Chain A
Amino acid sequence: MANGSDGLNWSKILAGGVVLMVMMVISLPTLIVLFIGMLPTGVAAIIDRSEEKYGTFCVGGLNLCGVFPYITTLWFVDHTVNVATGMITDVFTLLVMYASAAFGWTMFMAIPPVIASFLSVMAQTRVKTLRALQREIMEEWGPGVASTVDDAPLDAPPEAPHS
C-alpha cells in the first residue's frame, strides 16, 4: 500500500480534476459523449499493464475515430446536453464508437504475430547468408579459420639465405 500511495501523482490528479471541472462547466455535452464513447479506451488503459501502453494507444486511437464524428456534430450543429444525451442513447452511435474500439483491440491482437513471422523469415534469410559467407571463408582459408582458439603464429623463421 505504501508503494501504491507513493505511486500516486497527486498533482496530475489535481490537474485532471481541474480540467474535468472546467470542461463540465464550459463543454458538458462534449464531456458526456467523450466519457461514454471512450469507455473501451478507459477499460483498455486499466487492463494494459505494460509500461508503453501500446494497447491503450491502439484501442484509444481507433476508439477516437469512432467518437470524433459525433463530437464534431455536437460542436458544429448543436452543442447541448440533450443532443449529447440523444447520441449516447442511440444504439447505432454506441455501436459505431465501440466497434471502432473493438477494431482497435483486434488490430492490437492480430498485428504482432504477423510482424513476428515476418521478422523470423528475415532472420532465417540472414542466417543462410552468413553461413554461405562462412563456407566461402573456410574454403579460402582452411578450417583453421573457424578455430576459436587463438593459435600461436608460426615460429619466427630463421634468417633467410639470399639466393
Chain B
Amino acid sequence: MAEQPLDADEAGADLPEGLIPPDAMEEAGDLDTPDAPPVGLPPSAASSPPVMGQGPVLLRDRYLIDSGKPLPDLDCATAKAYAVADRRDLARKLYALICQPGLPTRLDAVRALKDQEIRGVLPIAEWDVITWPPIGQQALIIVYELPLGGRVRDRLARKEVKITEYDMPRRVVEPIIEGLQALIALGGPHRAIRPDNIYFLDEDMTQVVLGPHVVSPPGYDQPLVLETLERAMAMPAGRGMGDSREDIYALGVTMVLLLLGFNPVGEVSDDDLLQNRIEHGSYTAICGTARVPIQMIEPLRGMLNDDPTSRWDFNEITNWLTGQKINSAQKKIINKSKKPLTFRGKKHFSTRSLAWNFARYPTDAIKTINSDDFQDWLRRALGNKEMADTIKGALQAAKFHKDNYQGSDDYVLARISCILDPMAPLRYKGLAFMPDGYGPLLAVEWIRNGNPQSAAEILSHDVPALWFAEQPRMYRELMDLQKDLSSLRGLLGINDPGYGLERALYAANPSVSCQSPYVVRDCVVSAEQLLPALDGAANSVDTSSQPMDRHIAAFIVARFDEDIHPHLKALASNKAETSIIGMLSLLAFLQWKLRTPAVLGLSSWIGGLLGPAINAYHNRHTRQELERDIPRLVRKGSLPELFNLIDDAEKRREDNEGFEASRAEWLAAEEEIRDIEGAGDERLTKAERTGQQAAAMFAIIVALTVVSVLMLVEMS
C-alpha cells in the first residue's frame, strides 16, 4: 500500500456525490443560482435573482461576520468559514461556519451545545439563520470559538508540533474521550472525528478539541476509512447517527493517521478498501502494512474491532488511559466459506462480501441468487443450511407475490441482502442506508438530488421491516427505531395536507428547513421563522395561489408543538371555503401563539384569497359588510383578527339560521305556486263547484226572502 501524506486529504476531497463543495457554493455554482433553481421552486420564485454581494452581516446584533474575510484553513467539507468580530468583546476570537442550504444539519446538537464549555469540544458561541450575501439567501450560521492553534493535522504536517505514541493518550485521547462522553450525555455522538477535524484550541497547542460536527448529517463528511464497516457500506447521507461505538472507531483510525503522519490506505480506492476490510477486518486492512507503535497496537485493535459488541467502550479506554488492566481485543473470526462463490469474475468467501457486491450489481445478483450454484454454496461451502432455507423461502415468497412489489427484483434483493448480512445497511434500488440514517437519506435524495421516489418506496413498501426481521437481537434502541419508522410509514399513507412524504421528511429531520417554494430561500428551520418568511414571499410570488402548500402544512405540524389537527382537517376539505378558512385559521393560530408581529404582506395575500370564504356566507349584506371590513384588517397585518372577522361563530350562526328560514319561506312559496299552477282541471272543477254552490245559495236566499215578504204582505 502506497503511503500518502495527510495533506492530500483536503477538505472536500471525500465529498459525497451530489454535494456542492464550499468553493462552488461561493462561485454561485450551487442550486441557489438563477441558472439552477432549487428543486420544486416555481418559476415566479426561481426567476427572482438572488441578491448577492459581499460585506459584513450582523448576527443577533452582536456578531459581525465578514463575508469578505474567508478563513479557508477552518473550512469544513460542507461549510465555509469566515471571520467574526464580537462587538461586545473585541478581544474574543471567533469564526463562523456557513451551512449549505438544503443539507440537513444537527440543529438539536447546536441548541444543546450553545454556551456549553465542554473540554475536548470546540465551543459554540451563537447560531442563527440570517441572509448570507454571497449566496443571496438565508443560511444557518454557527459561530464557534476560534481554535487559535489551528488544525492538529496541519501542525503535525508542518512539524510545528510532535505528538508521539507516548503523548497521544494524555494529550489527544483523554480530552476527546471526555468531550465525547459529554456529547453523549447531551444527546448524541460526534460522528465527525477525523484528523482534519481536531484542533488546538489555544496558541500554545496544549488543548485538543474536536471540531464542528453539526453542519451536516452524522458521518456525512467522513471519509470511508473513518466509518465503521457497516456504516461505511452505506451512502454518506444514510450512515445514521449510531452511538459512541462509531466515535470510538473513528477516534482509533484518527489516532493511526495522526501517529503515522500519513494515510496508509490513501491511495486505495474506496471499493478496494471496503473489500479488504470485509475480508480481513478493518484493523488489518488499515494498519496491516503500517508500522504502528507497539504500545498502541492493543488499544487500536480494541477501538477498530469490527464487532461492535467487542469494540472498546469508554470504560476500557479510560482503563487504558489510567494505566489499569485492559482486556485484549478478541479478533472476531470472519465466517468464511471453504470454497468461494464467483460473482462477476471475483471470488467471494463471505456472505457480507456477497451482499455488498449484490447491491452494487443488482441485475447480475438476481441471476446468481436464483441459480442452484448459490444454494449449493450456502449449504455446502458455507455450511449454513438455515440461511439457505431462509433465502429459498424468500425466493418462493417472491414468486407467490410476483404481481406486486414484494415480488420485484429490488425488494427480493433487499431481503436477500438483509439475510446475508443482517448488520449491513439496508439496500434498495441503489440506496444503502442504516435504519437510523433514513431521515438524512430522504432529505438528501429529495432536496439535493430531486428524486425522493426510491426513498419514499422504502417506507411505503416497509423495506426496513426486512432489516429488523433479520436482527439477531432487538434491543430497546432498535425497537424505538422500528417504531419511529413505522410511524413515518403511517404518516406517508395519509394524503391530506400535513401528512405524506413531506411530513415524513420533516419528522425524520428535525433541522431540515421548510422546502416550500415560497420560503425555500429563507432557510426556515423553526415555526417562528415561517410567518415572517411567508410575509416576505408575498411581495415576489404569484398571490393567486394559496400560501399554504403541502410542505408548509407538514412543516408546521412537525415543528409547531400544538394540536392543530382541527385546522388540518378543515384545510383538507374538498370545499374551497372550508379549506381557505382552515388555512387562515392555522396561520392565525400560529401568529397568535408565537406572538409574531404584524404580517402585512401575508395578510394582504390571504385577504385576496378569501372570496370563497366570504361567499360561504349566504346573506348578501353580510358579504358586502365583510368585503368592506377586510381591507381595514389587512392593513393591521393581524391574521387572528382577519380570521375572527371571516369566521365569526355568532355571525355564521345567524347567517345559517336566516338562510334556513329563507329557504323554508322560498320553498313554501314555491309549493304554493306549484299548487296554483299545477291544479289545472281540478282547479276549474273546483271553481265551477263553487259557482254552483254560490248559485244555489243565492236561489235559496231569494226564495226565502220572497216567501217571507209575501207572507208578511198577506198577513199585514
A interface residues, Cβ below 8 angstroms from B:
50, 52, 54-55, 57-62, 64-65, 68-69, 72, 75-76, 104, 107-108, 111-117, 119-120, 123, 126-127, 130-131, 133-134, 137-142, 144-148, 153-163
Partner of A58 from the list B588, B640, B689, B699 (CB cut-off 8 Å) is: B699
Structural contact, A112 and B691, CB atoms closer than 8 A? yes
Asked if B676 CB lies within 8 Å of chain A CBs, one says: yes
Within the complex, which residue of A50, A52, A104, A113 is in contact with B699, where a contact is CB–CB below 8 Å?
A104
Q: Would you call B618 and A107 a contact (CB within 8 A)?
A: no
Partner pick for A61 among B573, B581, B702, CB 8 A cutoff: B702
CB within 8 Å for A162 and B578 given contacts A54-B695, A116-B687, A133-B669: no
CB-based closest 10 A-B pairs: A112-B691, A61-B699, A116-B687, A115-B691, A61-B703, A161-B592, A158-B566, A57-B696, A54-B692, A54-B696
Partner of B706, one of A64, A123, A126, A147: A64
Closest CB of chain A to B675's CB: distance in Å?
9
Known: A126-B672, A148-B667, A158-B566. A116 touches B684 (CB 8 A): yes
- CB pair B662–A59 under 8 Å, yes or no, is no
In the complex, whether B620 has a CB less than 8 A from a CB of chain A is: yes
Min CB distance A111 to B, Å, is 4
Q: Which residue from chain B places its CB closest to the CB of A146 in the assembled complex?
A: B666
Within 9-29 of B, Cβ neighbours of A (below 8 Å) are at none
The SS class assigned to the A binding surface is helix
CB distance A107 to B698 under 8 Å?
A: yes
Does B206 sit at the interface, judged by CB under 8 A? Answer: no
Residues of chain A contacted by B585 (CB below 8 angstroms): 157-161
Residue B638, interface by CB 8 Å: yes
Within 8 A of A (CB), among B583-640: 585-586, 588-589, 591-593, 616, 618-621, 638, 640
Set of chain B residues within 8 Å of A62, measured between Cβ atoms: 699, 702-703
B714 at the interface (CB under 8 A from A): yes
Once the chains are docked, how many angstroms separate the CA of A163 from the CA of B647? 13
Residue A114 contacts which of B659, B666, B667, B691 (CB distance < 8 angstroms)?
B691
Contacts A65-B703, A112-B690, A160-B649 given; does A155 touch B573 at CB 8 Å: yes
Cβ distance A154 to chain B, nearest Cβ, rounded Å: 6
Interface flag for B567 (CB, 8 Å)? yes
- Cβ of A58 and Cβ of B692 under 8 Å apart? yes
A75→B261 CA distance, assembly (Å): 157
A127 and B588 CA atoms in complex are apart in Å by 49
Cβ of B127 within 8 Å of any chain A Cβ, yes or no, is no
With A and B bound together, what is the CA distance between A162 and B595 in angstroms? 11
- Chain A: CB-nearest residue to B659: A141
Set of chain A residues within 8 Å of B578, measured between Cβ atoms: 154-155
Of A61, A112, A130, the contact of B688 (CB 8 Å cutoff): A112
Closest residue of B by beta carbon distance from A50:
B692
B629-659 interface (Cβ within 8 A of A): 638, 640-641, 643-644, 647, 649, 652, 656, 658-659
Residues of B within 8 A of A116 (CB): 684, 687-688, 690-691
Given A145-B666, A158-B567, residue A107 in contact with residue B695 (CB < 8 A): yes
Please name all residues of chain B whose beta carbon is closer than 8 Å to the beta carbon of A72 when the two chains form the complex: 710-711, 714
Q: Is there an interface contact between A137 and B696, defined as CB atoms closer than 8 Å?
A: no
Q: Convert B558-578 into 0s and 1s, putting 1 for each residue whose CB lies closer than 8 angstroms to a CB of A.
A: 000000001101100101011
Q: Which residue of B lies closest to A155 (CB)?
A: B578
User: Known contacts being A126-B676, A158-B567, is A108 close to B692, with CB within 8 Å?
Assistant: yes
Most buried by B among A57, A112, A157: A157
**A54 contacts which chain B residues (CB < 8 A)?**
689, 692-693, 695-696
CB of B87 within 8 Å of the partner chain: no
Sample of 23 A–B contacts (CB below 8 Å): A52-B693, A54-B696, A57-B696, A57-B700, A58-B696, A60-B699, A61-B703, A104-B699, A111-B698, A116-B684, A120-B687, A130-B670, A131-B673, A140-B619, A140-B620, A140-B621, A141-B619, A141-B620, A154-B581, A155-B575, A157-B581, A159-B566, A161-B593
Instruction: List chain B residues, Cβ under 8 A from A134.
Output: 666, 669-670
Judging by beta carbons under 8 Å apart, are B659 and A145 in contact? yes
Determine whether the beta carbon of A154 is less than 8 Å from that of B652. Answer: yes
Contacts of B120 in A (CB 8 A): none
Complex formed: what's the CA distance from A72 to B641 in Å?
Answer: 94
B residues in contact with A117, CB < 8 Å = 687
Chain B residues whose CB sits within 8 angstroms of the CB of A145 once the complex forms: 618, 659, 662-663, 666
Closest residue of A by beta carbon distance from B711: A72
Indicate if the CB atoms of A163 and B638 lie closer than 8 Å: yes
B1 proximal to A (CB < 8 A): no
User: Which residues does chain A contribute within 8 Å of B703, judged by CB atoms?
Assistant: 60-62, 64-65, 68
Residues of B within 8 A of A104 (CB): 699
Residues in B with CB closer than 8 Å to A162 are 592, 640
Residues of chain A within 8 A (CB-CB) of B669 are 130-131, 133-134, 137
Instruction: State whether A55 and B692 are in contact (beta carbons under 8 Å apart), knowing that A62-B702, A161-B589, A161-B640 are contacts in the complex.
Output: yes
Output the nearest chain B residue to A132 by Cβ-Cβ distance. B669
Query: Distance in Å from the Cβ of A91 to the closest Cβ of chain B?
Result: 22
* A59 in complex: contacting residue of B618, B691, B699, CB < 8 Å: B699
Q: Inside 8 A of A141's CB, which chain B residues have their CB?
A: 618-620, 658-659, 662-663
| Least distance between B668 CB and chain A CB atoms (Å) | 9
Bound complex: CA A72 to CA B690 (Å)? 33
Contact for A158 among B570, B592, B665, B673, CB less than 8 A: B570
Chain A: CB-nearest residue to B571: A158
Residues of B within 8 A of A59 (CB): 699
Q: With A108-B695, A115-B690, A160-B649 given, can you name 13 additional A-B contacts, CB distance below 8 Å?
A: A52-B692, A54-B692, A57-B699, A58-B692, A58-B695, A62-B702, A112-B688, A116-B690, A137-B669, A145-B659, A148-B667, A157-B581, A158-B570
Contacts of B218 in A (CB 8 A): none
In the assembled complex, the CB of B392 is this many whole angstroms from the nearest CB of chain A, namely 54
State how many angstroms separate the Cβ of B590 from the closest Cβ of chain A.
9
B700 proximity list for chain A (CB < 8 A): 57, 61
Q: How far is the CB of B33 from chain A (nearest CB, A)?
A: 40
Contacting residues, chain B, for A112 (C-beta < 8 A): 687-692, 695
Q: How far is the CB of A61 from chain B (nearest CB, A)?
A: 3
- B581 partner residues in chain A, CB cutoff 8 A: 154, 157-158
Is B694 engaged at the interface, CB distance under 8 Å to the other chain?
yes
B contact residues around A50 at 8 Å (CB): 692
State A118–B691 Cα separation when bound (angstroms): 10
Name the A residues within 8 Å of B701 (CB-CB): 61
| Residues in B254-283 with C-beta less than 8 Å from chain A | none
Q: Which residues of A sit under 8 angstroms from B51, Cβ to Cβ?
A: none
B582 contact set on A, CB distance < 8 A = 158
B688/A160 in contact, CB under 8 A = no
Q: B677 on the interface (CB 8 Å rule)? A: yes
Is B36 part of the binding interface, using a Cβ–Cβ cutoff of 8 Å? no
Q: Are A127 and B673 in contact (CB under 8 A)?
A: yes
| Nearest neighbor of B688 in chain A, beta-carbon distance | A112
Nearest Cβ distance between residue A27 and chain B, in whole angstroms? 16
